[in-house]
Every structure is written in C-alpha cells, then in structure tokens.
A and B are shown apart, each in its own frame.
Chain A
Amino acid sequence: MKTLGDFSAGYLPRIRASWPAVLLPLVAFGTLGLTASTWPELIIALALIITVVAPRESARIAPYALFAYGVYGLYLMHSLLINEANSVTYGFVHAWWRPVQSGVNWYTVGSRWNQWVLTEAVACLVAGVCLLARRQALGSGPVRRAVAQLRGTGGQPKTVPPLLLIGAIFLWEELFGQDLWFGTPWQPGFTPMMLVAILIFAAGVAAVVWLPRAAAVLAVVGIVLIGLIGVLSGVQPGYLPVGPWSGYTIGFYGAVPLGGGTDRVFAGLEGVALVAVGCVLGRRLLTWSADFELAERARALSQRVDGLTRTRSEAAETAVAELRRIERDLHDGAQARLVAVGMSLRAVEQLMGTNPEAALALVAEARETSSRALEDLRDLVRGIYPPVLADRGLAEAVRNLALDAVLDVDVNVDLPGEPPMPVAAAVYFAVAEALTNAVRHAGARTVQVGLEHAGGMLRATVADDGRGGADASRGSGLAGVERRLGTFDGILTVSSPAGGPTIVAIEVPCALSSVKISSC
C-alpha cells in the first residue's frame, strides 16, 4: 500500500514535469460554456481521469486542446461580428453563468461580455501555441517545423512565412469586409464584390505557392500596416483612416467591432500586437530570404545531382561496353592472328631443315597474317581515338571525315581553339555517326557540316539534302552518341521532316583551350 510519502515522491515530480496536464481539465471546464457541447460534465470527468492517471499524455494533449478551444472561440466571435449570430455562448464567463443563464437574453447581455470572450479565445490560442513551441516533445512534427521556420531556426522547405500572407489578407478583407462580402448598405446574397474578395484570396494562395518569397514580404508589410490602423483607431475612437468607414463608427478589426468604449481599447491593443508581430517577422525576413535562396539552390543542386547520377551511370555503362567491345575485337582479331603467326613460325622451325619450300610458304603466310593483325589493330584504334584527332584536333579530324566520306561534304569550321579531348572525341564520333547515317539511310547527295563555338557552347551541325523522315526513336548508334554527349551535358537533336532535309544538331557546353601548335 502506498504511503503519502510514496505518492509525493512518485507523483509530484511527474506532475511538476508535466504541469500543462492540469490545463486539460481546465479547458474541459470551459466546454460548460458551449451550448453545442452535450454532457460537458462527462468531458470534464474524462479530462480529470486522464490527468490523474496519465499526466504525461495529458500534458501532451492539453496544448492542442487549448489551441482548438481558442480557434473555436475566434470562429464564434467572428460569426457574431459579421452578424450571423446575435450572441455567443463560450468560455469560462458563460460557464460560470450557466447555472443562471436560463431566462437571460444574450443578445442584450452578450455584447458586454464579447470582449472577455475574445480575450479568452485569444489567450487560449496563444497559450496553446506557446506550449506547443516551448518543448519539442510537446509539438509534433508539422507544428514544430512551422515554429522553427517562424523562429528562423531552420526547417525546409519554406512554407510557413509565405502562408502568413493568407492571414494578412484575411485581416484586410475583414476591414473592408462590409464592402467586399455584404455590400454597403447590407445586401444579402451574392455581390460582385464577393468575386473580388475571392479573387484576392486566390491571388494570395497563388503567391504563396509560386512566389513564396514575395508572399512573405507582402505578409509582413500587410501585418504592420493593419496593425498601425488598429493603433490609430485605438487612439481616436471610431477612426479608420482607410476604406468606406472613414469617419464611421462601424467596422471590424481583427474580430473586434470598431466603436467606442472598450472596443477601441481592444482594437488598439490588437493593433499594437500586430505591429509588434510584424516587426519581429520583419527581422526574421532576413533569415527567411537567405533560407529561400538556400532552398532554391538546394533544389537546383539536387536536380543537378540527379542528372549527374544518371549520366554518370550511363557513362560508366558505356565505358564498360566499350571496353568489352575492344576486348572482344582484340581477342578475335589481332590476338588470334598473332597466335597463328607464332604457330606458323614454330612450324617453320621444324620444317627449315627438312622441307625449306614448305617453310618458306609458311613464312609468307605468317607475314600475311601479321598484316591482317595490323589491319585489325588500325580499325580498333580508329574506333578508340582517331589518329587525326590525336594529331591535329577536332577541326582537322572533321575535315578528314569529310574527305573520307563517299558523299560531297562541305565543312565550315569556326573554332578559335581546341575543346577538351573527351569532348572533342564525343563530338567527333557524333559527327561521324550522323555522316554515316546520311550516307546509309538518307540517300543524300551533299552534306553540310558546321562546327562553331560561341557563348561557351560548342555546336556541330550535320545537314543533308536527303529524303528525311529519320526514325524519331533513333537508331542505337545515335542513342549511344547521345549518351556519350550527355556525360558532358551535351545534347543531340534530330530534325528530319519527311522529304528532308535532315539536320542533326549537337551542343556541348565547354571552354576552348588555345590552338594546339605542334612544334617541328
């Protein structure tokens, strides 16, 4: 059996550690004031049980309950102020009055308490938010991230600061709400101004989505300005410097009816609060815009990384396939022929004494085979790095391609320097492939090859006068070329309408080095 000491040793520290737990029954008590709530006593009892049995969980729930309670209060106040309801029953005030409320005309009594109700709702809302922000353990994921963003302590992506614009628009539309939503004088039903109000909201949402940075700036400016209006109307009763109510005593300001007496005090206080909030947010704006830039850069970088990852793996695959091809060619070609030469020479050794004539024939055969081996090696090397490209660079190599082609090829080169070797090779093979296609498939008579470098971009074009209609899906040859170009962020486009002409354009960003000068 537990003693009182055990209780104080066991429970008191837990309660001290999770004191917000006591707020839960308090909020539950507030539900007594809600006409909509059924069996508020049951809710209170439930809250008390949770708090005693599981104070930690209670502490976890309490801030949300406070927050929701505050939001509901503001909603009720707002419906009252825009004349949807004559009075509200909400809050501790009404809970207290509940036992005697029967027979009370809330329409007459209500306005007296409205400010208290509003205060209570705002207090609950602020308390809830503060508690949620106070400890990470108390705030769940989204709330914590939102608070972190507003405090400028990080959190990506930037969603909350721009969202404030919606709040600012809400405050402004409320100020002009009479005109916007109901028309002056009061008109029930739809008015054209409603459309304007809706459009302004839509514009705000669009700004939040597509221009988050501008939305955040606009939100801060809007909050400060409307705060100033509140301060002014607090200083001078019923004074509203803008809108159709200038000089009128009717108007809504942040859920407060603008009028004399306590209304004015509340509007003024609210204005001061809004100005303060706006100033704090304005200071944060610096952090935000830096974060916006970071976020944009991060997005661009991640896109770049995606592209690089893809082209890198493609390049690696291409390289491996290329090595496999070289290995196969060597194995089946030069290597096999050298084996044959060695075998022939071995036979020559044996035959030399006994059958010189046969030996001689074998030597001739070996010589022939070694020639073939050299031929194979030549073909192979041309496919790896063409000799003229190695000797003279891209421009001359392309000219050599033109000389080698079966068609008449005009070459126009405007290259003040030499691209890096890997780029030169990729472009060379791209042009070679395009030329081959022009010869094989296009039925062309002449081909124009252009090569130029402008604006940090190396461009090559191969245009033929053939029949066009090149397959849009492209042969595997061009696809391979495209992959190779992709490694250098290069692109290859094919324009080939039926009836021609076919134009293959290659673009690779690269810098040129000074012209290679061979010393003799």
Chain B
Amino acid sequence: MRVVIGEDLFLLRDGLVRLLTAHGFEIAAAVGTAPELLTALTELKPDVSIVDVRMPPSHTDDGLRVAIEARRVVPGLPVLVLSQYVEQLYAAELLADRAGGVGYLLKDRVFSDAAFAQAVRDVAAGGTVLDPEVVARLMARRTRSGPLAALTPREREVLALMAEGRSNAAIAARLFITDKGVAKHAAGIFARLGLALSDDDNRRVLAVLAYLNG
C-alpha cells in the first residue's frame, strides 16, 4: 500500500515513515511543505496519505487546504489528517464532499501504533475515522435536536464509535454486546436516518455525516 506523508517536522516525519514501514506500508513520498505535498498527492495518487494540518509556507492550515484541494482534483483520494488540535470546523470541511476515505486524528494517536496503522488502512478502504475528541464534542451537542434526537442512547453510542472508524467487531467488544447486536443497532440507525439500503461502508459514512451536520 503506497503512502504519501506530508509533515514539516523532521522527527515526526521520520517517525511516521519508520512506523508505517514497520507495518508493511510502502512510502511513495515524504514531504515537508504544502506545495510539494499537493504535487505528490495529485501526481502519485497514493492509496492513502497522512497530512499534517499546519505546514509551511504560511504555517497555518496549509496542509488541510492541500488535502481538500487534492480531493477536489482526485475525488475520493484517501486522506488522514493529523493535527495537534482537532476542530469541528475542519472536520466538517474534510467530510463536506461526502466521498469517504477521510480521517482526522490528533497526533498523539500515533503513539498506539497498531491502532494508528489500522486507522490508516480504514481510511485507505474508504472509511471515515474521526478522533474520539471530535466525536465526544459532537455527542455533547447533537443529542438535543436534529435527526439524531430520534436515536436511542445505545444507537447514539454505536454511531459515535462508527464515526471513530471502528468496525462492528470493535464496537461489539467496546460495548460488550454481540456482533449481531451491533448490526441490529446499525440497521436501526440507518433506518431512522432514512438511509436507503446500499453498500454498508457508504451508509456508515452518510450516517456519520448526518451526525456531523445534524
């Protein structure tokens, strides 16, 4: 699996390269500035990319803008955005094209290397992986109004874990219920949110989006 890494801090970039190599990824390019990153993403079209939000030249949200721009040029290009902070605004912008293959995680999540590698694979496969911090803050807000008000508390828990990019098995383990139970809750969520039967991954993405925009 070919990966492009955009990270301006050498130590972190180097660490990411080693971590991903150790987990069997192939590093197509590892760059330190936004313009280089845009070139690498649009020309190499990697299977997945890891992008830092704050990058040169302006050291603001250059990385994020590059990620969004690259996904405009190459629709559905899987991007996992890393940052020292997670902001709802940026999460909403990343998910706005509803194409899936998006991740948005705090940099510290790299510490759990196996989980991080799994998140990269999920994004590459078209899933949506949101940082628990984003999800927690969404949870605080979205229970009062909007379509999510129709969900049961349990369904909301399941949806929150889905938004974090967890598989049915992982959700089952976390909530101490069976895989079948998770599938039942998921079906309930899709039904209540009015998501027609289609491929499961896409419905999961749409459910998360409903969650975000709720």
Task: Please determine whether A367 and B111 come into contact, CB atoms closer than 8 angstroms.
Answer: yes
Cross-interface CB contact of A406 among B85, B107, B140, cutoff 8 Å:
B140
Task: Please determine whether B38 and A520 come into contact, CB atoms closer than 8 angstroms.
Answer: yes
Q: With the chains together, A367 CA to B88 CA distance in Å?
A: 26
B65-92 interface with A by 8 A CB criterion: 65-66, 69, 84-85, 87-90, 92
B44-61 interface mask toward A, CB cutoff 8 Å, 1 = contact, 0 = none?
000000000110011011
Cross-interface CB contact of A388 among B35, B89, B140, B144, cutoff 8 Å:
B89
Task: Please determine whether A520 and B84 come into contact, CB atoms closer than 8 angstroms.
Answer: no
Chain B: interface residue count, which band? 20 to 34
A14 surroundings in chain B (CB, below 8 A): none
A381 within 8 A of partner (CB) = yes
B159 within 8 A of partner (CB) = no
A312 within 8 A of partner (CB) = no
B83-110 interface with A by 8 A CB criterion: 84-85, 87-90, 92, 106-108
Shortest distance between the CB of A361 and any CB in chain B (Å): 15
Q: Which among B38, B69, B89, B141 has the greatest number of chain A C-beta atoms within 10 A?
A: B89
A304 within 8 A of partner (CB) = no
A393's nearest neighbour on chain B, judged by CB, is: B60
Shortest distance between the CB of A439 and any CB in chain B (Å): 10
A387 within 8 A of partner (CB) = yes
Cross-interface CB contact of B57 among A392, A399, A519, cutoff 8 Å:
A519
Q: Which among B61, B84, B137 has the greatest number of chain A C-beta atoms within 10 A?
A: B61
Task: Please determine whether B38 and A406 come into contact, CB atoms closer than 8 angstroms.
Answer: no
B62 within 8 A of partner (CB) = yes
Task: Please determine whether A406 and B108 come into contact, CB atoms closer than 8 angstroms.
Answer: no
A177-185, A213-221, A370-378, A420-428 - the one binding chain B: A370-378
B145 within 8 A of partner (CB) = yes
B25-36 interface mask toward A, CB cutoff 8 Å, 1 = contact, 0 = none?
000000000110
Task: Please determine whether B62 and A370 come into contact, CB atoms closer than 8 angstroms.
Answer: no
Q: With the chains together, A336 CA to B65 CA distance in Å?
A: 36
Q: With A371-B111, A405-B141, A406-B144 in contact, do A518 and B58 touch (Cβ < 8 Å)?
A: yes
B4-47 interface with A by 8 A CB criterion: 34-35, 38
A392's nearest neighbour on chain B, judged by CB, is: B61
B interface: dominant SS: helix
Q: With A390-B60, A518-B62, A519-B58 in contact, do A400 and B89 touch (Cβ < 8 Å)?
A: yes
A54 within 8 A of partner (CB) = no
B146's nearest neighbour on chain A, judged by CB, is: A408
Task: Please determine whether A520 and B35 come into contact, CB atoms closer than 8 angstroms.
Answer: yes
B107 surroundings in chain A (CB, below 8 A): 374
Task: Please determine whether B145 and A408 come into contact, CB atoms closer than 8 angstroms.
Answer: yes
B125-157 interface with A by 8 A CB criterion: 137, 140-141, 144-145
Task: Please determine whether A387 and B137 come into contact, CB atoms closer than 8 angstroms.
Answer: no
A interface: dominant SS: helix
Q: With the chains together, A392 CA to B85 CA distance in Å?
A: 14
B60's nearest neighbour on chain A, judged by CB, is: A391
A403 within 8 A of partner (CB) = yes
Shortest distance between the CB of B144 and any CB in chain A (Å): 7
Q: With the chains together, A405 CA to B140 CA distance in Å?
A: 9
A403's nearest neighbour on chain B, judged by CB, is: B88
Task: Please determine whether A406 and B35 come into contact, CB atoms closer than 8 angstroms.
Answer: no
A388's nearest neighbour on chain B, judged by CB, is: B87
Q: With A388-B87, A400-B87 in contact, do A520 and B141 touch (Cβ < 8 Å)?
A: no
Q: With the chains together, A399 CA to B141 CA distance in Å?
A: 15
Shortest distance between the CB of A55 and any CB in chain B (Å): 84
A404 within 8 A of partner (CB) = yes
Cross-interface CB contact of B61 among A405, A408, A518, cutoff 8 Å:
A518
Cross-interface CB contact of A387 among B38, B65, B87, cutoff 8 Å:
B87
Q: With A391-B60, A519-B57 in contact, do A396 and B65 touch (Cβ < 8 Å)?
A: no
A382 within 8 A of partner (CB) = yes
B90's nearest neighbour on chain A, judged by CB, is: A388
Task: Please determine whether A399 and B89 come into contact, CB atoms closer than 8 angstroms.
Answer: yes
B38's nearest neighbour on chain A, judged by CB, is: A520
A336-375 interface mask toward B, CB cutoff 8 Å, 1 = contact, 0 = none?
0000000000000000000000000000000100110011
Q: With the chains together, A174 CA to B141 CA distance in Å?
A: 83
Shortest distance between the CB of A395 and any CB in chain B (Å): 11
A396 surroundings in chain B (CB, below 8 A): 89
Task: Please determine whether A403 and B84 come into contact, CB atoms closer than 8 angstroms.
Answer: no
Shortest distance between the CB of A188 and any CB in chain B (Å): 88
Task: Please determine whether B145 and A378 come into contact, CB atoms closer than 8 angstroms.
Answer: no
Task: Please determine whether B137 and A520 come into contact, CB atoms closer than 8 angstroms.
Answer: no
Q: With A405-B141, A519-B57, A519-B58 in contact, do A400 and B66 touch (Cβ < 8 Å)?
A: no
Task: Please determine whether B89 and A520 come into contact, CB atoms closer than 8 angstroms.
Answer: no
Task: Please determine whether B87 and A520 come into contact, CB atoms closer than 8 angstroms.
Answer: no
Q: With A371-B111, A378-B84, A520-B35 in contact, do A403 and B89 touch (Cβ < 8 Å)?
A: yes
User: 9 new A-B pairs (CB below 8 Å) besides A371-B108, A378-B85?
Assistant: A374-B107, A388-B89, A391-B53, A403-B89, A404-B87, A404-B141, A518-B62, A519-B58, A520-B35
A-B CB contact pairs (8 Å), 13 listed: A367-B111, A378-B84, A382-B85, A387-B84, A388-B89, A388-B90, A392-B61, A400-B88, A404-B141, A518-B61, A518-B65, A520-B62, A520-B69
Residues of B within 8 A of A (CB): 34-35, 38, 53-54, 57-58, 60-62, 65-66, 69, 84-85, 87-90, 92, 106-108, 111, 137, 140-141, 144-145
Top 4 closest A-B pairs, CB basis?
A403-B88, A400-B89, A391-B61, A391-B60
